[in-house]
Amino acid sequence: MMLTMTGVHAHYGHIHALRGIDVEVQVGEIVTLIGANGAGKSTLMMSLFGNPRASAGQIVFDGEDITRLPTHEIALRGISLVPEGRRVFPRMTVIENLQMGANFSAPDNFEADAARVFAMFPILDERQSQRAGTLSGGEQQMLAIGRALMSRPKLLLLDEPSLGLAPIYIRRIFQIVRELNRDHGMTILLVEQNANQALKVAHRGYVLQHGGITIAGSGEELLASPEVRAAYLEGGHA
């Protein structure tokens, strides 16, 4: 098992954002979390890093209890996040952003890992010495994904990678998710508003509502489920 969350509760200020979350991700899986705005999807991802800290429950990553570890220690265990809103370092160049992703991996790997990212996103290669703040939204998203891959993570978390992007970029990003999993055996936890696309690439999925898991199942099951169809697929989010 790559990741197990058991009965996790978390608070954001006065909001009880997560109410007893049970989520499992197995090695080599793509798991997706779908749910409306404010259901707690991003909070769930951030709570893996202790930000906000789980107030109850347990998080086990790769056989180790990480519930109480400091944020940076958790990252060093091999979890990489592509956060909501991308959060590239705007006043650093593209290559510096990639170096930030590789801060704590072996320096000898840098050339090869950067080459892999550039092969995946050739536009980043062209913009190596450009400041990340001057890139378009789609390019920043690619950079954020590339940065996350530089540490050779065991588990990749993607938070709304398609948000606000042009359709051409959205297709490319889902394609990358599929390739990373199929060709590199990458384990991926994907949060998406774009439920239709997400369920199609995912092996399994969870539906999150008001901070709790309401439905769990395989991608196909959720796609076929009448509740999911009514709430997330035909309700205008598709």
Give the nearest distance from C-beta 91 to another protein in angstroms. 6
Report the C-alpha gap between 97 and 25 in whole angstroms: 28
Query: What mask, x for binding another protein by CB under 8 A, covers residues 22 to 51?
Result: ---------------------------x-x
Of 28-36, 53-61, 66-74, 183-191, the segment contacting another protein by CB under 8 A is 66-74
Site for another protein in 146-165 (CB under 8 A): 147, 151
Q: C-alpha distances in angstroms, 188 versus 12, 40, 136?
A: 25, 18, 25
Site for another protein in 185-204 (CB under 8 A): none
191 neighbors 33 (Cβ within 8 angstroms): yes
Of 146 and 205, which has the nearer Cβ to another protein? 146
Contacting residue, 36, 60, 69, 92, with another protein by CB under 8 A: 92
Of 7 and 70, which has the nearer Cβ to another protein? 70
Query: What mask, x for binding another protein by CB under 8 A, covers residues 110 to 149?
Result: -----------------------x-------------x--
Class of residue 101 by CB neighbours under 10 A (exposed 0-12, middle 13-18, buried 19+):
buried
Q: C-alpha distances in angstroms, 179 versus 52, 108, 186, 234?
A: 31, 25, 9, 28
Closest CA to 175 of 189, 161, 163: 161
Contacting residue, 68, 72, 182, 184, with another protein by CB under 8 A: 72
Class of residue 238 by CB neighbours under 10 A (exposed 0-12, middle 13-18, buried 19+):
exposed
- Note whether 211 binds another protein by CB under 8 A: no
If one counts every other C-beta atom within 10 angstroms of the C-beta of residue 201, the result is 18
Kindly determine how many residues on this chain lie close enough to bind another protein according to the rule CB under 8 A: 23
Give the nearest distance from C-beta 82 to another protein in angstroms. 10
Contacting residue, 91, 106, 129, 168, with another protein by CB under 8 A: 91
Binding site for another protein (CB under 8 A): 49, 51, 70-72, 75-76, 81, 83, 87, 89-92, 96, 99-101, 103-104, 133, 147, 151
